[in-house]
Amino acid sequence: RAGLDTYRIGQVVMAHDSVPSTQPLAHEAASKGAPEGTLVIAEQQTGGKGRLGRPWHSPSGTGIWMSLIVRPAIPLPKTPQMTLLTAVVLAKTIWEETGVEPKIKWPNDIFIGDKKVSGILTELNAESDRVNYLVIGIGLNANMTREDFPEELASIATSLRIESGKKLKRARFIQRFCENFEREYDDYLREGFERVKSEWEQNSYTIGKWITVSTIQQSLEGKAIGLDAEGVLILEDAQGKRHKVYSADVNYRAN
């Protein structure tokens, strides 16, 4: 099967060779009215951005570096659900296209074994309480060999090529991602978060693990129990007390 079987996700693609980051380009396009589903892709990023202000290593030719514009009609507090949805879709597409089974590390890293293969950076544009659009940035280590990773990443990062032993066809992967995203997203808009929640939990690296979560205000330790109906992580501490953990700007460590 060739081509792209969607009606909006990936129907507009803005493809670049080398850019600082696809995120600001997607914001610019979105604020000029780019339709929902517009995808900004780059072959290389010279200033790729990760979560929590970290850099994101985005060399030429070996990765998928892209930012997706969506305009969901959902209330502001529900927008983190879109990141969980994206993680579910990424994990599913990786499994379908490579046969390797990735796990989702809360809130939105994709792991194979104990190494990270993909990350998601969601940025929100809202006016007062109204969501204008989201830019969902996706970085996927596709075709790096072990030697391609800089020393500081070698022990914590991996690629689909390393894990599956095969080179990924990137264009095909992106098409399948768009199709899976559209299906999951349409279901979510119609039916709500429930399916995403259960798929996220089924593919979770985090559930059942003892973790430490720290925000600026507090540090919490406990066992990750699951997501609540809204997508907030539930942590049970040593005293059996349950805590809600919101993904925004949280650092965490799996003990």
Binding residues for ligand BTN, rule: CB under 6 A, are 21-23, 45, 48-51, 54, 56, 58, 65-67, 109, 119-121, 137-139
Provide the token pair at 58: 């985005």
CB of 194 to ligand BTN, least distance (A): 26
CB of 191 to ligand BTN, least distance (A): 28
CB of 33 to ligand BTN, least distance (A): 21
CB of 37 to ligand BTN, least distance (A): 16
Q: Which is nearer to ligand BTN, 136 or 222 (CB)?
A: 136
223 is in an annotated binding site: no
CB of 112 to ligand BTN, least distance (A): 14
**DSSP notation for 129-194:** TEEEEEEEEEEEE-S--GGGS-HHHHTTB--HHHHHSS---HHHHHHHHHHHHHHHHHHHHHH-SH
239 is in an annotated binding site: no
Dihedral (CA of 58, 134, 87, 242) sign: positive
> In this structure, how many other beta carbons lie within 10 angstroms of the beta carbon of residue 146?
11
Q: Which is nearer to ligand BTN, 106 or 223 (CB)?
A: 106
Instruction: Indicate the DSSP class of residue 52.
Output: G
Write out 73-86 in H/E/C secondary structure: CCCHHHCHHHHHHH
Q: Which is nearer to ligand BTN, 21 or 222 (CB)?
A: 21
Provide the token pair at 53: 């202000």
Best CA proximity match to 125, nearest among 76, 91, 170, 160: 76
Q: Which is nearer to ligand BTN, 121 or 207 (CB)?
A: 121
Tracing tokens 């200033």 back to the chain, one arrives at 47
Q: Which is nearer to ligand BTN, 27 or 223 (CB)?
A: 27
Phi and psi at 74, nearest 5°, equal -130, 155
Angle in degrees, 0-180, between the axes of helices 170-191 and 194-202, rounded to the nearest 10: 130
Residue nearest to ligand BTN (CB): 119
CB of 50 to ligand BTN, least distance (A): 3
Q: Which is nearer to ligand BTN, 230 or 249 (CB)?
A: 249
What separation in angstroms does the CA of 148 have from each of 50, 57, 227? 19, 11, 36
Q: Which residues are annotated as a binding site for biotin?
A: 45, 116
Q: Which residues are annotated as a binding site?
A: 45, 116
